[in-house]
């Protein structure tokens, strides 16, 4: 049994949707070839069965040759057995091809999403990414899957055309000329279906992203009374999506009807012509039965042609959507010849003039919180900069190596579904109880029915905002990162909890470098060093109490809440 997904999904060809689909086909060409081979055998044997029936009827009933009748009966059973076996093998390979193409698409999307990192949410909505795994992978898999039956349909039409041309030139020409006409009639509906499916897919991605945003901010919306406004907006957009879906479904239903009607008319024409030739004695009764069987069986390849056009179209649309993600380029790329960063050393940002001393707890206070966030992103190389660690530029190291040395933990992080212990301590390091105490999160765990073995729901929705923040802090502390940058780690907790965290954070991180962006006096009072930033530049630094006494601008920023 072949295992999926493949360990190495390869490098996608992103030049066009067609080239992407061909890239998938090249990677699994052997299985596609097997599927096509079995598809041809499966469908051609089905097409030959009417010929054996016609020969058996002529031999047994027209000529009274029982030996020939038995021979053709045996041929019929043999063809039936081959068809069943080939059908099973074709389906097995088709399913494998579907899954392989689908998984490769998801693997490529996930790998590229990881490479994009913080660039992704700036370029694409959440719904766009979700829709790749929810719908696009299936459409691409279907486009690869149908290739086996499509190959069988092509060969079968050729075989039947040759047989009928040999038996009757007129009937053969009807088949040879009628198939392209049937395909042309069906293809008239493919182009409008293509455009409407693209419009539907675009709106679906946008609406999915909107739904994710609403769910994520539901508490805030209820707090400010905006739930009804966003609900009405979502309802309006969902109705637009429904109308677009109905429009696409209307064309789809016409295509489905054409896939039945056109082959049916074709079968009726061939049967009528065959009956006329039989009555005039130009063909035998057995040949008439064969022609009727051919005409009836032709519905299968003709419907397969229509289905293939539909699935190829959907797959092409889906591939185009996947390429929209795969073509995005990360704002930050790895150097061609990366170097190793020192584990410790001063972290210096020339743009702001900030230097973080190794092994200390440093707090950054800004008049504009956005300035602190920008500095934190530069220090952790989420923005291109000239920041150095121990004199070595972060830009000279790979992003993964920077993450090993410097970890940025902000409030955009999420709790994932799973066991809480594995969520907070995925590497199984010792000391989780100390981290829970440092983050003042022990009471959260104690209140759970199974403690750390409790199951966390999606996005940790069973926890309040403050509880989620403390649990995320536990997870950050458990990484034991040489340099840990915390962005407003106590913004959602009450003053008593904040005081406990401020008191315990420095002892827990003793000997390691910790940076906190905050304006909370409770946290600042426990920092070894406080840096005040204004307009993105360092204006003053020292202890919290010294800055309160000597720097009025710092005092105004820090005591703003107390003054109010």
In angstroms, the CA 480 to CA 478 distance is 5
Q: What is the CATH number of the domain that holds 48?
A: 1.20.1560.10
Residues 6 or more apart whose CB falls under 8 angstroms from that of 154 comprise 301
Across the range 273-297, mean pLDDT stands at 72
What pLDDT does 563 receive?
A: 45
Listed range (188-192, 253-257, 441-445, 474-478) with the worst mean pLDDT: 188-192
Number of folded domains that form the chain: 2
* Domain-embedded: residue 5: no
Indicate if 352 and 245 belong to the same structural domain: no
Burial category of 19 from C-beta neighbours within 10 Å (exposed 0-12, middle 13-18, buried 19 and up): middle
Render pLDDT for 518-540 as a digit per residue (tens, 0 to 9): 999 999 999 999 999 999 999 99
Structural domain containing residue 129:
17-326
Render pLDDT for 426-435 as a digit per residue (tens, 0 to 9): 888 999 999 9
Residue 480, helix vs strand vs coil: coil
Across the range 107-132, mean pLDDT stands at 77
Q: Which helix (H) or strand (E) holds 471?
A: helix 465-478
What pLDDT does 488 receive?
A: 92
In angstroms, the CA 289 to CA 235 distance is 58
* Residue 214, pLDDT above cutoff 70: no
If you compute the radius of gyration of the chain from its CA atoms, what whole number of angstroms results? 34
Indicate if 320 and 374 belong to the same structural domain: no
The strands making up 347-349's β-sheet, listed across from edge to edge, are 354-356, 347-349, 388-389, 392-393
Indicate if 278 and 402 belong to the same structural domain: no
Cβ pair 417, 468 in contact under 8 A:
no
Indicate if 320 and 403 belong to the same structural domain: no
What pLDDT does 209 receive?
A: 58
Cβ pair 12, 326 in contact under 8 A:
yes
Q: What is the CATH number of the domain that holds 426?
A: 3.40.50.300
**Exposure letters 65-97 (e unless 16+ CB within 10 A, then b):** eeeebeebeebbeebeebbeebbebbbebbebb
């Amino acid at each position: 049994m072949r295992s999926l997904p493949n360990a190495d999904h390869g490098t996608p060809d992103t030049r066009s949707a067609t080239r992407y689909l061909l890239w998938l086909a090249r990677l699994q060409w052997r299985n596609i070839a097997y599927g096509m081979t079995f598809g041809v055998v499966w469908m051609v044997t089905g097409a030959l069965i009417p010929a054996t029936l016609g020969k058996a009827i002529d031999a047994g009933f027209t000529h009274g040759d029982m030996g020939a009748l038995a021979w053709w009966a045996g041929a019929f059973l043999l063809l039936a057995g081959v068809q069943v076996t080939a059908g099973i093998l074709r389906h097995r390979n088709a399913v494998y091809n579907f899954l392989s193409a689908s998984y490769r698409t998801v693997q490529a999307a996930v790998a590229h999403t990881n490479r994009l990192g913080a660039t992704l949410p700036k370029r694409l909505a959440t719904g766009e990414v979700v829709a790749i795994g929810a719908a696009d992978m299936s459409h691409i898999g279907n486009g690869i899957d149908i290739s086996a039956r499509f190959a069988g349909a092509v060969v079968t039409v050729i075989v039947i055309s040759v047989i009928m041309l040999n038996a009757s030139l007129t009937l053969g020409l009807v088949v040879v000329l009628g198939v392209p006409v049937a395909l042309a009639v069906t293809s008239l509906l493919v182009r409008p279906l293509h455009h409407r499916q693209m419009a539907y897919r675009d709106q679906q991605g946008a609406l999915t992203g909107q739904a994710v945003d609403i769910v994520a901010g539901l508490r805030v919306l209820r707090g400010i009374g905006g739930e009804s406004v966003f609900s009405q907006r979502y309802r309006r957009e969902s109705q637009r999506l429904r109308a677009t879906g109905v429009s696409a479904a209307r064309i789809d239903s016409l295509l489905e009807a054409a896939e039945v009607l056109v082959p049916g008319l074709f079968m009726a024409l061939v049967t009528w012509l065959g009956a006329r030739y039989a009555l005039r004695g130009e063909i035998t009764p057995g040949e008439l039965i064969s022609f009727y069987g051919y005409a009836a069986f032709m519905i299968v390849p003709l419907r397969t042609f229509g289905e293939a056009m539909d699935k190829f179209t959907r797959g092409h649309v889906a591939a185009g959507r996947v390429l929209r993600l795969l073509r995005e380029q990360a704002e930050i790329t790895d150097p061609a010849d990366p170097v190793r960063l020192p584990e410790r050393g001063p972290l210096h940002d020339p743009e702001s003039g900030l230097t973080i001393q190794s092994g200390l707890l440093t707090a950054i206070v800004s008049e504009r919180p956005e300035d602190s966030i920008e500095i934190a992103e530069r220090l952790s190389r989420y923005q291109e900069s000239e920041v150095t660690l121990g004199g070595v530029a972060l830009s000279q190291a790979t992003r993964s190596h920077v993450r090993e040395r410097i970890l940025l933990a902000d409030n955009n992080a999420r709790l994932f579904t799973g066991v809480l212990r594995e969520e907070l301590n995925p590497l199984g390091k010792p000391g989780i109880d100390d981290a829970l105490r440092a983050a003042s999160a022990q009471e959260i765990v104690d209140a759970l029915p199974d403690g750390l073995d409790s199951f966390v729901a999606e996005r940790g929705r069973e926890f309040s905002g403050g509880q989620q923040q403390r649990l995320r802090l536990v997870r950050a502390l458990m990484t034991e990162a040489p340099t840990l940058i915390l962005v407003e780690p106590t913004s959602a907790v009450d003053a008593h909890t904040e005081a406990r965290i401020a008191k315990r954070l420095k002892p827990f991180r003793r000997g390691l470098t910790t940076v906190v962006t905050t304006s909370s006096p409770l946290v600042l009072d426990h920092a070894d060093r406080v840096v005040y930033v204004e307009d993105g530049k360092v204006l003053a630094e020292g202890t919290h109490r010294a800055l309160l006494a000597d720097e009025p601008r710092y005092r105004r920023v820090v005591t703003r809440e107390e003054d109010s």
